[in-house]
Amino acid sequence: MQKLLARIVALGVLAWLCLPGIAGAAGPAAAPLVIVADTRIATGWLGWWANLYNESHLLFALVTVIIIPVVGLIFGVLADLIMGHIGLDLRSRELAEH
Amino acid sequence: MDWLYVLMPIAGIKIFWPGLIILGIGVGIIGGFFGMGGAWMVTPGLNILGFPMAFAIGTDIAHMAGKSLISTMRHGKFGNVDYKLGLIMLVGTIVGFELGAQMVMWLERLGSVEKVVRYLYLVLLALIAWMVFADVAKKKRKEREAAAAGQEVDKLATGIEWHKTLHKIKIPPMVHFNVAQIYCSAWLPILVSLLTGWLAGILGIGGGLIRMPALIYFVGCPTHVAVGTDLFEVMISGLYGTGTYTYKGRTELVAAMIMLCGAAVGAQIGTVATKYIKGYGIRIAFGLCVIGCALSIILKMLAKGIPGYGGVFDGAATVLILGLVSCMSIYIFVRMMQGAKAEIAAKKARAEIGVAG
């Protein structure tokens, strides 16, 4: 344990000493960001979705944060039902190690 | 063949949707099996499918949150999730992540942060790989020594046991984690999560790759519980990440949903496979993944260092990662099928004996 701690501290000191030199290099260009989605190419619900993004980024983010777990939950419950029919014991497992 | 492509309404590009489903299945299997989000696997895959980099990370985080929820549900039923430990660690993870993110901004003001991140990532991956394989070697040595003495090693024994030393530090409040079967100071998981969260914040990753081994070697979780508890954390931090990235317009929900369809299947396979592959099998496979990830970073660094061969090294890194995802997914799938077949056959045999009796 002491050996490991000494190694970690040594690595940390090395990283700290090297940091300024490494960080001094020129930075890469920032990735482009879409400010307004092009609604002319999207139709139906895709168009509605792009419009929602253009109207309010906050509402768009909120709806996304709600949709993701809801869909995950639906898929999880569906998978549960299907897996239940296969006949596997999905409620217990052997303790492997500690 | 236009029907094979779907429009991404925000980015305004068309993407090959079967590719998204295949990627989702692969990452779902690996994520459910190892207990991590798997951004390091998804980002190169999305890039190959033509996703702009700005959208790849946000879309990955969004699908990761949903996928982790599916895996957590399944792991929870196996009794692999210690919610109390997960919630305590969440505090440290969030604070640590914010500290890491602030540090990155400070480094950005100094200049390029990219090299720092890559070197730090490499050092960390090397440390994790060393920890995993040193643990495996130590356990094998214990077994050899016990066999020479005509004894048997306890089936629940591990190789590296740093957690036992850390559990001796009794700074109040002391906490029982019933699922993980740990009794330790509450400060231990808080400090471990603070450190892993800080590293994740600096590296710009979800943190599963660091947190899972930290839960095993420092907190003392059994491998299965480390996987399940980590997924619980990935789920919550993934939702937070989805919110922030989406607000910045960097998430394509359509792609995330399509990936989630594949990931829902993959997550079930990966999670159920943990029932048939013992803890040390998971640790060894995880160690191999870490080595693959480190090699891909070295290739990416070579691509930047030797621009003349940049394309070759970049291509090799992508092939390596996708090859690793494919091989690992196939291995996990085959082992899951073998285990499931054996279990169903044993069940049938028992039922037949019962009928005959």
B193 in Cβ contact with B93 (< 8 Å):
yes
Note the pLDDT of residue A17.
39
Q: Nearest C-alpha of chain B: how many angstroms from A5?
A: 11
Note the pLDDT of residue B239.
87
Question: Reduced to 3 states, what is the DSSP secondary structure of residue B16?
Answer: strand
B63 in Cβ contact with B24 (< 8 Å):
yes
Task: Tell me: pLDDT of A72 over 80.
Answer: yes
Kindly calculate the radius of gyration of chain A based on its CA atoms and give it in whole angstroms. 25
Provide mean pLDDT across the span A47-64. 89
Beta bridge partners of B177: B182
| pLDDT tens digits for range B78-106 | 888 999 999 999 888 888 888 887 887 78
Q: Which residues contact B114 (CB under 8 A, 6 or more apart)?
A: A27, A28
Provide mean pLDDT across the span B312-317. 87
Note the pLDDT of residue A96.
58
Contact A96 B222 (CB under 8 A): yes
> Strands B13-16, B174-177: parallel, antiparallel or unpaired by DSSP?
unpaired
Minimum-distance CB partner of A33 among B7, B63, B248: B248
Contact A65 B156 (CB under 8 A): no
Q: Which residue of A has its CA nearest to B274?
A: A93
Question: Given pLDDT bands bounded at 50, 70 and 90, which one contains residue B299?
Answer: confident
Provide mean pLDDT across the span B234-247. 85
Provide mean pLDDT across the span B272-286. 84
Domain boundaries, chain B: 2-348
Q: Is A72 on the interface with B (CB under 8 A)?
A: yes
Q: Structure pTM?
A: 0.80
Q: To probe the interface with A, which of B181, B195, B268 has the most A CB atoms within 10 Å?
A: B268
Residue with tokens 């091989």: B327
Note the pLDDT of residue B183.
92
Question: Given pLDDT bands bounded at 50, 70 and 90, which one contains residue A24?
Answer: very low
Q: Which of residues 33-52 of A touch B (CB under 8 A)?
A: 33-35, 37-39, 41-42, 46-47, 49-50
Note the pLDDT of residue B305.
84
- Between the CA of residue B253 and those of A84, B26, B63, what are the distances in Å? 30, 19, 8
Which pair of tokens denotes residue A7?
Answer: 């190694």
Contact B257 A71 (CB under 8 A): yes
Question: Given pLDDT bands bounded at 50, 70 and 90, which one contains residue A2?
Answer: low
What is the Cα–Cα distance from B333 to B202, expressed in whole angstroms?
33
| pLDDT tens digits for range B183-216 | 999 999 999 999 988 888 787 777 788 888 899 8
Note the pLDDT of residue B39.
78
| pLDDT tens digits for range B10-24 | 888 888 899 899 989
Note the pLDDT of residue B165.
87
Which pair of tokens denotes residue B195?
Answer: 């450190």
> Of all helices (H) and strands (E), which one includes residue B81?
none
Residue with tokens 């709600």: A66
What is the Cα–Cα distance from B15 to B52, expressed in whole angstroms?
11
Note the pLDDT of residue A97.
58
Note the pLDDT of residue B59.
87
Q: Which residues contact B102 (CB under 8 A, 6 or more apart)?
A: B201
Average pLDDT, chain B: 86
Q: Where are the beta strands (DSSP E) in chain B?
A: 5-8, 13-16, 174-177, 182-185
| pLDDT tens digits for range B40-84 | 778 778 877 888 777 887 888 888 889 899 889 888 888 889 999
State the SS3 of A20-73. Answer: HHHHCCCCCCCCCCCCCCCCCCCCHHHHHHHHHHHHCHHHHHHHHHHHHHHHHH
